Chains A and B, each alone.
Chain A
């Protein structure tokens, strides 16, 4: 019972957020959270541009989404797979264990840091 309630709440929240990000342009509005790293240091963090990328994606502009945050676009299919594994954790623990292996986590960490450095050098 509690589990299905959480699922419904999350679904509603995602729909509302999805509509907000579809309807409003984060680069033209001050309502959206700003990246503190970029504001304070002037350097982009690994997540900078994610809100604008989601706005572009929801409006069908895939090329624009890649321009704002290519890493997010590449990560979305992986995140979806992981969330699926998370929901099937008791029924399919092997898939979960594979996707959460420490080696993979270190690899992801390395990719995030690499993306962080490269995007500030090449202004991606």
Chain B
């Protein structure tokens, strides 16, 4: 089985089980493989329970190169058997560019920001609801970069609804506005 990994916003894959063990993943990582409709938390896949440590137990990436594998045995870590193996593979992870490598066609890690629709509804639909949508567009990317994929998805949806609300409100207001003819003269 081939797996794709999204760990702290850095995506990599495809990899097999042995390669995953080398990555030093934490429980914050997300996984996708053939047959899944979307990314899932690594903790939700039983066959991967040996390739990650619970968040907080993982060593900091920066200190990895200095510590030889032997010393690592002394550290209090939850799962021992694979701990020494994680060492050599660690530096590989930060070197991975964000969008490098083949991506599974149906797994798009960062949800749409809707920024262009927010701008369009701001400029065309005459309603500041679009401005709220712009703010949500920034939230999507910020949350995604912080590793909060669920939050990014929520912000993406809320932003999309603000765009739709902007357009619908613009249309609905039409009959109501026509009822105020005295003010319409100043508009043209």
Contacts and interface: CB of A to CB of B under 8 A. Distances in A.
A43 to B, nearest CB: 11
B135 to A, nearest CB: 7
Contacts of B131: 109, 112-113
Interface in B130-147: 130-131, 134-135, 137-138, 140-142
Interface string B12-54: 0000000000000000000000000000000000000000000
Interface of B: 98-99, 103, 105, 108, 110, 112-113, 115-116, 119-120, 122-128, 130-131, 134-135, 137-138, 140-142, 169-171, 173-174, 176-178, 180, 183-184, 186-188
Interface size band for A: 35 or more
Interface of A is mostly: helix
A77 interface: no
A82 B115 contact: yes
A104 B188 CA distance: 33
A59 interface: no
A19 B115 CA distance: 27
